[in-house]
Copies of this chain bind each other. A is one copy, B any other.
Amino acid sequence: MDIKQYMTEVGQRARNASHAMAKADTAAKNRALTLIAAAIRRDADALRAANKKDLDAARANGLEAAMLDRLTLSDKAIATMAEGLEQIVSLPDPIGEISNMKYRPTGIQVGQMRVPLGVIGIIYEARPNVTVDAAGLCIKSGNATILRGGSEALHCNQALAKLVSEGLAGAGLPADAVQIVETTDRAAVGEMITMPQYIDVIVPRGGKGLIERLMKESKVPMIKHLDGICHVYIDDKADLKKALDIGFNAKCHRYGTCNTMETLLVARSIASTVLPELAKLYATEKVELRGDDEARAILKGYAHLASATEEDWSTEYLAPVLAVKIVADVDEAIAHINKYSSQHTDSIITEDYTRSMRFIREVDSASVMVNASTRFADGFEYGLGAEIGISNDKLHARGPVGLEGLTSLKYVVFGHGEIRE
Residues of A within 8 A of B (CB): 19, 22-23, 96, 102, 104, 106, 108, 110, 113, 115, 117-118, 200-201, 221, 239, 241-242, 245-246, 248-250, 253, 338, 347, 358, 360-362, 364-373, 375-377, 381-383, 394-396, 398-400, 408-420
Contacts and interface: CB of A to CB of B under 8 A. Distances in A.
Contact of A394 (B117, B369, B400): B117
Nearest to A400: B411
B394 A408 contact: yes
Given A19-B338, A417-B246, A368 B412 contact: yes
B110 A383 contact: yes
A404 to B, nearest CB: 11
Contact of A370 (B242, B246, B248, B413): B413
Given A383-B104, A420-B381, A413 B372 contact: yes
Contacts of A399: 410-411
A263 to B, nearest CB: 18
A373 B418 contact: yes
B395 A408 contact: yes
B249 A420 contact: yes
Do most interface residues of chain A lie in helix, strand or loop, or is the interface mixed?
Answer: mixed
Contact of A23 (B200, B361, B372): B361
A408 B113 CA distance: 19
A267 to B, nearest CB: 18
- In order of increasing CB-CB distance, the 8 nearest A-B pairs are A372-B415, A249-B419, A242-B417, A375-B420, A369-B413, A394-B408, A371-B415, A395-B396
A29 to B, nearest CB: 14
Given A23-B361, A246-B419, A383 B102 contact: yes
16 contacts: A118-B364, A201-B395, A241-B417, A242-B416, A242-B417, A246-B419, A347-B413, A360-B412, A366-B410, A369-B413, A370-B413, A370-B414, A371-B414, A371-B416, A373-B415, A394-B408
A375 B419 contact: yes
Contacts of A96: 361
A197 to B, nearest CB: 12
B411 A108 contact: no
Contacts of A117: 394-395
Nearest to A409: B398
A338 B104 CA distance: 28
A19 B394 CA distance: 15
Contacts of A408: 394-395, 398
B360 A113 contact: yes
B377 A411 contact: yes
Contacts of A253: 419-420
Contacts of A371: 414-418
A333 B420 CA distance: 24
Given A96-B361, A373-B419, A420-B373, A381 B104 contact: yes
B383 A415 contact: no
A394 B110 contact: no
A220 to B, nearest CB: 10
Contacts of A373: 415, 418-420
